[in-house]
Amino acid sequence: MFGFNFSLDLMKNKIEYLLFLIWGFLIRLVGLSLSRKLSFIPAALFFYIIPIRKKTTLDNLVMAFPEYSKKKIFRIAFASYRNFIITLSEILYLPKMDSSEIENAVKYSNVELIKKKYCENNGVILLSAHFGNWEYVAISASIQLGIPFHVIIKPQRNPYVTEWLNKARTKWLNKVVPLGVSIRNIYLELKGKNIVAMVADQRGPLDGIRVPFFGRMASVYAGPAMLALKTKAPLLYGIGVRQPDYSYLAEIYEINTENLPERNEEKVIEISQRHTAYLERFIRQHPEQWLWMHKRWKY
């Protein structure tokens, strides 16, 4: 029975990967500009006809914005689906892009802050979120600075898709570090004076620390705060906001790690609360650009 299930999973992964490749081929065939304009079509398919995680998206939005009307919630939800389709199209287009295209895709108001902190030789923790196009943010910044980022990635359920994504992520300077490895390996990257980049908006474990997020306590991963305290590496946050012309405007912000409580556990909670509050501010300004499809307040 185990072998039979394994064969079914393998076949399912291969079929999904084939569809993934076909979609990517079509995106590169018609061009990124037209793909973005037509993004409302697949967005409507997955929102209205074959609803994938629609209930979770709507429930999250109602919890985050209880003051919004049902009509406004639906409008933001559909816009979030379209945002995801645009992001996916942009990622699928990466194999056809050259370094100057991806470099110019994101405009930073202060990208030099990363280099300044990098030159202090403590390593750098660069956080981002599933907001806009987080992949572009990491790739473009590293090219602009001429410094490789060690990107912490969570493998996809489909290993073929993971391999494709990692190849796209490392097409230029960046390297990938699977999330499943020991946190000690990430610690060693920071002690090696490297820039470690990771998304920091996913739901943490059931027994993890909790901080306020849209007025509700939410579980978060303590890793970024713990690493910042242990290595003295500066904790930066970079979020790229998609503009009407589909370019991205990003600002690098340093999370304040001063004036912390005395106990180490309380320090971790306070730092985590600070970077979560920074993310919340951006989501409130542009709720349609965040990925609402995961159960952020599951427990």
Domain boundaries, the chain: 1-92, 100-291
pLDDT for the residue 10: 87
Strands 235-242 and 124-128: parallel
Q: What pLDDT, on a 0 to 100 scale, did the predictor assign at position 218?
A: 96
- What's the Cα-to-Cα distance from 260 to each of 122, 209, 266, rounded to whole Å? 20, 16, 8
Main-chain dihedrals φ then ψ at residue 85, nearest 5 degrees = -65, -40
CA distance 172 to 94: 11
Coil, strand or helix at 178: strand
Tokens for 25, please give them.
């081929």
DSSP 103-149: HHTEEESSTHHHHHHHTTTS-EEEEE-SBS-HHHHHHHHHHHHT--E
Q: If the chain, 299 residues long, is cut into consecutive pieces of 10 residues, what is the mean pLDDT of each piece?
A: 64 94 96 96 96 96 97 98 98 96 95 95 95 96 96 90 96 88 79 94 92 96 94 96 96 94 95 97 98 92
Rounded Cα gap, residues 118 and 120, in angstroms: 5
Which pTM does this prediction carry? 0.92
d(CA 273, CA 83): 26
3-class SS at 291? Answer: coil
Contacts for 133 with CB less than 8 Å, ≥ 6 apart: 86, 87, 90, 91, 105, 240, 242, 248
- Tokens representing 170 are 């490392």
Residue 34 structure tokens? 């037209």
pLDDT at residue 235, rounded to an integer: 97
Cβ 152 vs Cβ 177: under 8 Å: yes
DSSP 290: B
Pick the closest to residue 255 from 281, 276, 280 (CA basis). 276
pLDDT at 298: 86
